[in-house]
Amino acid sequence: MPLLQPRHSTFWLLKDILIRLIDRYLIKEFIPPFIFSTIALTFILLMNELFRLIDLFVRKGLPISIVGQILVYTLPLILSYSAPMAILVAIIMSFGRAAQDNEILALKTSGLPFRSIMRVPFAITLTFTLFLGFFNNYLLPESNHRVRNLMLDVTRKRPAVRLPEGIFTNEFPGYTIYIGEKDEGRSIIRDITIYNARDGALITAPRGELKSFDEEDILRFTLFDGELHQLVDSAKYQKTRFSKQIINMKLDTDLVRKERSYRNENELTVDGLEDKIQETKQKIADLRLEITEIGSNAIDGYLQGDVFGFDRANFEIERRIKTIEGDTRKLSRYEVAYYKKFSLAFACIVFLIIGAPLGYIFKRGGIAGILVGVLLFSSYYVLVIAGEEFADRRNFPAFWGMWLPNFTLLAIGIYMFLVAEFDRSPLRKLFK
């Protein structure tokens, strides 16, 4: 027995040296395609933004320094998508090339399981996942805030951009404006609500047109088939229907840089989103209580002879219902942004679990690996966009809207990992 001990120690020493050599080899195989994929994919995703920046420089006459700042502030958002995609592409390329050269098969034949081969890529991916979580929570919101502030200053030369969809905005003095949907290319807007604070009038319309007159510094709203709600003499409520209504708003087109304290859902950290979620839930609850109280007071007033109380109550209730609808959409967006920070970071782990076995099983590296990776990420991205859309319309919980794509690909990845680990389908026994 003692004579066998040195041999036993030598065996484990050689195996440890072999594993270290394999780890270094896998790092060298992973890093170059990751860097290349990150640069290439970032450039591809940035192309659309580059065309927009060229338009601002050539047609809008913006200084090159301002265009450069917009580009720099936009890069973090692009990287938050291109980096996970690059992880997936690099994993498929490195494992696909190693499998194509039968290197992984040789390692498994020597007694090294597939999970051990994935050890170093998993450590690298886990480290990157933690960094991406930090990046998405701190750096990305700040860059989004700065680019939005800059674009709000810039778009005084292009006013239609100053009116975001689904958000109440008061960029124009004396007006609070809400636009449900906007087709900027055709200057068409839908689901419009405009509150004129000076006259106390609430204007709603299902559709309209938006045009700017740079020479006169005027933004013109042309509304169709809408309604004008207004309190007359603070006692009587008046509702007027119109087929066409034109509202002209004065613009200030000078490029003035200023800091804004307001942050939307894409400009908040996790702590900020949690505060906004609780605040919005409380606001919705308070508005519902106000609606109940207004309705109860209107009934009591009617029983005491106040005939016009219902009209005033209807005006106040409709205004609060509109506010609740807007706040409900904002709550959904806050929840989506909250879960999205974690789900996009965790997607890197999912891409490793599904990408490594995929490269090994199909033995596809090089250009084929890039195409497979881009196709797989495109499928994931479509699922994320669909989840956001469902959550925004309140047809689906925000948590599942953001995490279901991860769970779906993770289930597929675990199955493929078991196939790669044991070189056979784990479901084969079930169907024998």
The per-residue pLDDT for 283 is 92
3-state helix, strand, coil in the chain (%, to 5): 70, 15, 20
The per-residue pLDDT for 201 is 84
Tell which residue, 208, 210, 199, has the closest CA to residue 175.
199
Judging by beta carbons within 10 Å of its beta carbon (0-12, 13-18, 19+), is residue 405 exposed, middle or buried? buried
To the nearest whole percent, how much of the chain has pLDDT over 90? 15
- Per-residue exposure over 3-40, b if at least 16 CB sit within 10 Å of its own CB, e if not: eeeeeeeeeeeeeeeebeebbeebeebbeebbeebbeb
Q: What is the pLDDT of residues 123-169, one digit of tens each?
A: 889 999 999 999 999 999 989 888 888 876 666 555 555 577 777 77
Take residue 69 and report the two structure tokens written for it: 């700042």
Q: What is the pLDDT of residues 33-76, one digit of tens each?
A: 888 888 888 888 888 778 777 776 665 566 788 888 888 888 99
Classified as helix, coil or strand, 201 is: strand
Half-sphere exposure of residue 332: CA atoms within 13 angstroms, side-chain side: 21
Query: Distance (Å, rounded) from C-alpha 93 to C-alpha 369?
Result: 5
pLDDT(349) > 90:
yes
More confident residue, 391 or 18: 391
Please give the model's pTM, rounded to 2 decimal places. 0.68
In this structure, the number of other CB atoms found within 10 A of the CB of residue 177 comes to 22
Report whether 350 contacts 406 (CB < 8 A): yes
In this structure, the number of other CB atoms found within 10 A of the CB of residue 64 comes to 9
